[in-house]
Amino acid sequence: MEVQIFLVFLACLSPVLATTNSTVPLVMWHGMGDSCCNPLSLGHIQTLIEKEVPGIYVRSLEIGDGIVEDTTNGFLLNVNKQVEMACQKIKSDPKLANGYNSMGFSQGGQFLRTVAQRCPSPPMFNLISVGGQHQGVFGFPRCPGASVSLCDYMRKLLNLGAYISFVQDNLVQAEYWQDPLNEAEYRQKSIYLADINQENKVNETYKTNLQKLKKFVMVMFGNDTMVQPKESEWFGFYKAGQDKEVYTLQESPLYTQDKLGLKAMDKQGKLVFLTSPTDHLQFTETWFVQNLVPYIK
If one asks whether residue 223 binds ligand NAG (CB under 6 A), the answer comes out as: yes
If one asks whether residue 222 binds ligand NAG (CB under 6 A), the answer comes out as: yes
Distance of CA 129 to the CA centre of its chain: 5
Q: Is 106 a catalytic residue?
A: yes
Closest C-alpha to 28, from 51, 71, 62:
62
Q: Which residue is nearest to ligand NAG (CB)?
A: 222
Residue window 230-269: x/- pattern of binding to ligand NAG, with contact defined by CB under 6 A: ----------------------------------------
Contacts of 218 (CB under 8 A, 6+ apart): 109, 129, 132, 134, 233, 234, 235, 271, 272, 273, 274
Q: Is 195 a catalytic residue?
A: no
Residue from the set 3, 95, 269, 286 that interacts with ligand NAG by CB under 6 A: 95
If one asks whether residue 14 binds ligand NAG (CB under 6 A), the answer comes out as: no
Closest C-alpha to 270, from 207, 213, 206:
213
Catalytic residue among 60, 106, 147, 252: 106
Question: Taking contact as CB under 6 A, which single stretch among the options 10-18, 125-133, 156-164, 198-206 is the one that binds ligand NAG?
Answer: 198-206
# residues near ligand NAG by CB under 6 A: 14
Range 266-290 burial, b when 16+ CB lie within 10 A, else e: beeebbeebbbeebbbebeeebbee
CB of 111 closer than 8 Å to CB of 85 = no
If one asks whether residue 277 binds ligand NAG (CB under 6 A), the answer comes out as: yes
CA distances from 30 to 182, 203, 263 (A): 30, 27, 28
Scan residues 59-88 and list those touching ligand NAG (CB under 6 A): none
If one asks whether residue 118 binds ligand NAG (CB under 6 A), the answer comes out as: yes
Q: Is 93 a catalytic residue?
A: no
Order of strands, sheet of 215-221, starting from the edge strand that comes earlier in the sequence:
58-60, 26-29, 100-105, 124-130, 215-221, 271-276
Scan residues 15-54 and list those touching ligand NAG (CB under 6 A): 21, 23, 25
If one asks whether residue 205 binds ligand NAG (CB under 6 A), the answer comes out as: yes
If one asks whether residue 203 binds ligand NAG (CB under 6 A), the answer comes out as: yes
Catalytic site positions: 106, 224, 280
